[in-house]
Amino acid sequence: MMRQDKSYFLPIITDQQDAFMTERFRAIMTNLQFMKTEGNEALQSIVFTSAHKSEGKSFCALNLAVAYARQNKRVLLIDADMHKPKLSGQFRLRYAEGLSTILSNQEDPLKYIVETEEPNLSVLPSGAIPPNPLELLNTTRTQEMIAIFEEAYDLVIFDTPPVLLMNDSRILGHFCDGVVLVVRNGATKQKDVETSIDLLTRAEGRLIGAILNGKKYAAKELKTYSYY
């Protein structure tokens, strides 16, 4: 594996309210750990998507990756949005070679992985934006890449474009162990959730759950949590 310079890592958890959120992601992690693949194996590859943009899928993918990493799991977080990569920008890797590079050649996929300052968490940037992201993904090369990553890491998390805008998550969902749909509280419409689920299942993706993001908690709820 090529060890590149450590990327800038944005701290996720700082104050009491963030600690409350951390516990929420730990709860999600615990639920996922009890889930199995259709072959009764532990989940190794998970796709994150949402119905529309700005619903928090990248935020949820990153926080869940951190939660797993802090449980001494080797985690690879992949920015699989080769249209408008967000995570790559957060890690200051927007112009680094990455996913699109791997899918365009036969080099070792592990070569382009970047270690972060968070122990056990590595990142694969999206790479240069290609003219044909969907064509790159819908190949046996993608399957080969996923198999290599699953061998090297305990968990691989893909952050993908919104399913109602692009088909990338449907393809990756078909290749991976499960899909998580992120829903924005008070913003995502029920009909869009239903359409998203239908699109994912039609592509034979296994929807393993949904995350309600953006829910506002009262100060009393946070205080009660801190007491325990």
Claim: this prediction has a pTM higher than 0.85:
yes
Residue 114, SS3?
strand
- Give the integer Cα–Cα distance in Å for 181 and 37: 17
* Contact present, 207 and 174 (Cβ < 8 Å): no
* Contact present, 74 and 152 (Cβ < 8 Å): yes
* Contact present, 80 and 172 (Cβ < 8 Å): yes
Which CATH code is given to the segment(s) 41-227? Answer: 3.40.50.300
* CA angle 197–68–158, rounded 5-degree value: 40
Please give the chain's pLDDT, 228 residues, in tens: 444 444 444 444 433 447 777 888 899 999 998 898 888 899 999 999 999 998 999 999 999 999 999 999 999 999 999 999 999 988 989 889 999 999 999 999 999 999 998 999 999 999 999 999 999 999 999 999 999 999 999 999 999 999 999 999 999 999 999 999 999 988 999 999 999 999 999 999 999 999 998 766 555 554 543 333
